[in-house]
Structure 1
């Protein structure tokens, strides 16, 4: 396992990872919320269908190649961040979001805690990547 592959960093420093996504189909989008979805509704004062997009926590994107990418944020750098959760050879990072008992998964296709805007991306292929600086 190459440690650099799993290092969280800003997208412009991980362009090789983003380039590798072109042509891959998205199998799943899961937000790993810091709060249970029903509590996020109360805590943030949002509608249930907005939990996937508005709750705090990382986003995990699974692809048809077996690759799983994580996305988070880094306020100190005023940026989003990316990392590899699992590569195509099933090598994983040391701390998988799906194994963190303190996080609450919310699927993009969840009928209660998400909406069609996010669900429509599941099954689609990545055709282009743009990094805004």
Structure 2
């Protein structure tokens, strides 16, 4: 899969169709995509993502971020992590639950949280 990366503050990215992986790192960025069939990942504070039709995945990490989607399709994925993040779908604000960073339940080494904590603790003690 082809990947596009944009790094810098106050960047503006506009795409008609995103069928690839788009990664933007920076604060105060604005991303506008008509049709998202791939993956959009944005890391930064005060960033905005606007998508008309979402078939793919959207990941936003950062405080005061916002995602606006006109139409969500079956199988799409939206994940927001950060303080005061917001999700608007079809003009209505949706609940995003807790927007705090948390450990993924799908850790590559163990499925039990106790095993993860124990391995970290033994590494620190060495």
Which TM bucket (shorter chain)?
Answer: under 0.3
* Greater fraction of residues in strand: 2
Normalization by structure 1: what TM-score?
Answer: 0.23
Determine which structure has greater relative contact order: mean sequence separation of CA pairs < 8 Å that are 6+ residues apart, divided by chain length.
Answer: 1
TM-score (norm 2): 0.23
